[in-house]
Amino acid sequence: MSETHAHSAAFVRTAILPPAAPPPGQTGVLRWMRENLFSSIPNALLTLLALYFVYTILAAILPWTLNGIWDAGSLTECRAIRDERGLSTAACWAVINERWLQLLFGFYPIDAPLLARLFYADELAAAGGMDAVFGPGSNATARIEFVGTMRAELGNALVFFFGYWRPLLALALLVVAVAPVLYNNLPRGMLIFSLIYPFLAVFLLWGGSIWGPISVALGLALSLYILKYAGARFGGLLGGLAMIVTLLCFFFNPLSLLGISGLFPLLPHVSGLLGTILPFGLPAITSDDFGGFMLAIIIGTSGIVLSLPLGIVLALGRQSSMPLIKWVCVTFIEVIRGVPLIVWLFTASLLLNYFLPPGTNFDLLLRVIIMVTLFASAYLAEVVRGGLAALPKGQYEAADSLGLDYWKSMRLIVLPQALKISIPGIVNTFIGLFKDTTLVVFIGLRDPLGLTNAIRATGEWNGIYWELYVFVALLFFVFCFFMSRYSMYLERKLATDRR
């Protein structure tokens, strides 16, 4: 680099600079505080004011929370302990400690025979054995007393894991079923389980013969097969018609108008036949016994899973160029959205029976799930429509110009992008739906809030509010927070169009 070269240009770089590390950081706590908290006098004042607010709030909440009393049999005992310790405020967490199972599961019955066999065998033998206590002709009062003492002695933890194994297993399997849908780096084969799961969950939660859910699954599979087979042979319209006829014959009684019953629906015949060949089942539990946070999860997840496809169909229908389809979708969306959810829930609980054919006994929980689904799908349709509208026209044209038909271009090009744009709105609707499940308390279902009333109605816990509400709030918060975090993860993962 010593001699001067005969360059024609004034400057020519001969050596390329190696990449350098960025300048040493904006590190140091003090520096950060100076820049972010005290950068100017007004900012410093605002910081101090905010700190003061945070302090007052914590000063009110923390002692109450942390001094909380966990071991007490009633509110009066709680207060006595508090005064004894000389505390001015203290939460009475004992109510949660004692009643958390009820808040989670409502009056869902525990599997008492299993618990007795596993952990209470000696006492069971003393009481006369399995058949004497739980058998058909056994004394109900004696049984209730036996179960009561057993629960008290075994403690909540054992009862939770073994008494409620059915809902717990359903929840654990729900996680397994949902995982491949949420995270696409899991093996695709797991999706088969996701398809089976709904029937399995119904069996676990409601019990009864296993052939009931299996027959429903068979009926649906048969209808789909007929749609595919007849569709391929006789064209889409006839295929659809054949499927509808199959569905009607299997699940409803198309001859009821003629007053003929007994032959249709085919469903009970099929499941009855299978049940006599190979009887297997769990004790049946009716929807009336469902309650607690479990109820919120059941209504919430069913609503979420069912409303998304329906919402997408409605959004596409609203954009359709066929006036009839468009008109039906618009009317549906506007009517459902324009009326409060609570009105629809009352409709579900009171009015729906008048519109249904006489004799159909439609489970209240199922009706609520349908209503919640319809309600959420109307909102989702509008959210998805926003995503569809935000997509540049060029995307539709490029898909068209490659010869993709309507459904393929929707499925492969338009919806993946439109749904991605709509993720925040979709998750927002889901969170709303999940929290709205507490409204079912007004039509007599025992949601967690309804159960707080039931707990307060007992002599021991009369007059307790905050502790129960905090617990319920926490349960909901955990779920909603997961959903919101997941949506952020998804948005980040799908961000391919930015560099």
Give me the 470-489 binding string for another protein, x by CB under 8 A, dash otherwise: --------------------
Structure tokens at 23: 């300048």
Q: Find, among 430, 298, 301, the residue nearest to 364 by Cα.
A: 298
345 binds another protein (CB under 8 A): no
Structure tokens at 387: 């995503």
Give me the 419-438 binding string for another protein, x by CB under 8 A, dash otherwise: -x------------------
Which CB atom, from 88 or from 185, has the smaller least distance to another protein?
A: 185
Subset of residues 122 to 181 that bind another protein, contact rule: CB under 8 A: none
Residue 333 pairs in a beta bridge with none
Q: Length of the chain in residues, anyone?
A: 499
How far apart (Å, rounded) are the C-alpha atoms in residues 160 and 456? 22
40 binds another protein (CB under 8 A): no
Determine the size of the site formed for another protein (CB under 8 A): 24
Phi/psi-derived region of residue 263, left when phi > 0, alpha when psi is between -120 and 50, beta in every other case: alpha
- Identify the residue among 233, 408, 485, 493 touching another protein (CB under 8 A): 408
Give the containing element (helix H, strand E) for 282: strand 281-282
Residue 413 exposure: Cα atoms within 13 Å on the Cβ side: 19
Which CB atom, from 84 or from 405, has the smaller least distance to another protein?
A: 405
DSSP string, 425-452: HHHHHHHHHHHHGGGGGGGT-B-HHHHH
402 binds another protein (CB under 8 A): yes
In 202-247, at which residue ranges do the beta strands (DSSP E only) sit? 208-209
Subset of residues 382 to 401 that bind another protein, contact rule: CB under 8 A: 392, 394-395, 397-401
Binding range to another protein, per CB under 8 A, among 157-165, 194-202, 410-418, 459-467: 410-418
Which CB atom, from 345 or from 410, has the smaller least distance to another protein?
A: 410
Q: Find, among 88, 89, 96, the residue nearest to 71 by Cα.
A: 96
Question: Least distance from C-beta 405 to another protein, angstroms?
Answer: 6
How many helices (H) and strands (E) in the chain?
Answer: 24, 2
Question: Least distance from C-beta 402 to another protein, angstroms?
Answer: 4
343 binds another protein (CB under 8 A): no
Binding range to another protein, per CB under 8 A, among 121-129, 194-202, 415-423, 456-464: 415-423
8 Å CB contact between 114 and 150: no
403 binds another protein (CB under 8 A): yes
Question: Least distance from C-beta 491 to another protein, angstroms?
Answer: 13
The set of residues, in sequence order, having a beta carbon less than 8 Å from that of 326 and lying 6+ positions away, is: 317, 318, 319, 320
Which CB atom, from 5 or from 492, has the smaller least distance to another protein?
A: 492
Q: Helix or strand or coil: residue 16?
A: coil
184 binds another protein (CB under 8 A): no
- Identify the residue among 13, 188, 492, 498 touching another protein (CB under 8 A): 498
Binding positions for another protein, rule: CB under 8 A = 392, 394-395, 397-406, 408, 412-413, 416-417, 420, 494, 496-499
